[in-house]
Amino acid sequence: MNFSINTVLFVSPFTNESVKLFKQFKKWGYDAVELLIEDPAHIDPALVKRALEKSELTCGSVAAAINPQRDLRGSPASQRNGAKYLCELIDQMVTLDARVLSGPVYSYVGRAKAYSAAEKKRHWNAVVKNLKVVTRYAAARGKVVCVEPLNRFETDFLNTMDQGLKLIADVGSPNLKLHLDTFHANIEEKHQGEAIRRAGKHLVHIHACGSDRGTPGNDHIDWKSIAAALKVIGYDGDIALESVTLDVPRIARSAGIWRRMEKTRDEIARDGVKFLRKTLA
């Protein structure tokens, strides 16, 4: 099990210049980094890989940034753009030596509406069709795509582990897995530990975040039940700390962050990894 940090806590977009963050991540005790790559043109993956190696870190995962022009349940053009973007990220993952493509790869954050049953079926079929293409591309390159359920305020498409399992079954690819985020699951799951047990071998990536988007452990989430469930399923994927603060305004707006959860983002990164290692390792 590796402990990772999503770069969105400190920078957006991530570019070649952002590799200067890696030295501090290592000092805080991280093993790996999760890169949110908003545009493949923003980075030279070979340069980023060298910087990671210099800091004795790995790229544990790459997080996708879907927008309305890349929506897998959007217009035909946006579906093509989305599939192309995801495949481009997978190509960069080969150079970065990252195994997991994470996030809400199916649609953009904030698309949440009471669609009709017929519209929901069309959306579902479109996402299934596109993920079949993307996962075939990932499989040929030894990579895994993880779908992340979000809370009801950020998407109407995928909110729970059970819905994620249905999507995996419909796509039918061993290279499509589940990604649990403790912030979203705190809203949508009755019990996170039970959801993890149901996901079982399909759960291969985790975002760890406090119930208020702040520091893991400085919140009301039942972390002991999460730790016990991870032990039961033999989880050996990354635990990636992902938080959002006012220091990155564009991301803060999209995540509905209007106040400070902790005094500093350094506190979240530093204290968060200490708690996660103590509780989940």
Which residues are part of the catalytic machinery?
Answer: 148, 242
Please tell me the distance from the alpha carbon of residue 53 to that of residue 51, in angstroms, as a whole number.
5
Q: What angle do CA 266, 271, 272 make, to 5 degrees?
A: 95
- Burial level of 25, CB count in 10 A (0-12/13-18/19+)? buried
Indicate the angle between helix axes 117-140 and 76-96, nearest 10 degrees: 30
Please name every residue paired with 241 in a beta bridge, in sequence order, or none if there are none.
5, 208
Q: What angle do CA 195, 201, 206 make, to 5 degrees?
A: 60
CB atoms within 10 A of CB 2: 15
Tokens found for residue 57: 């870190």
CB atoms within 10 A of CB 227: 18
Residue among 93, 175, 179 nearest 134 (CA): 175
Please name every residue paired with 203 in a beta bridge, in sequence order, or none if there are none.
178
CB atoms within 10 A of CB 201: 10
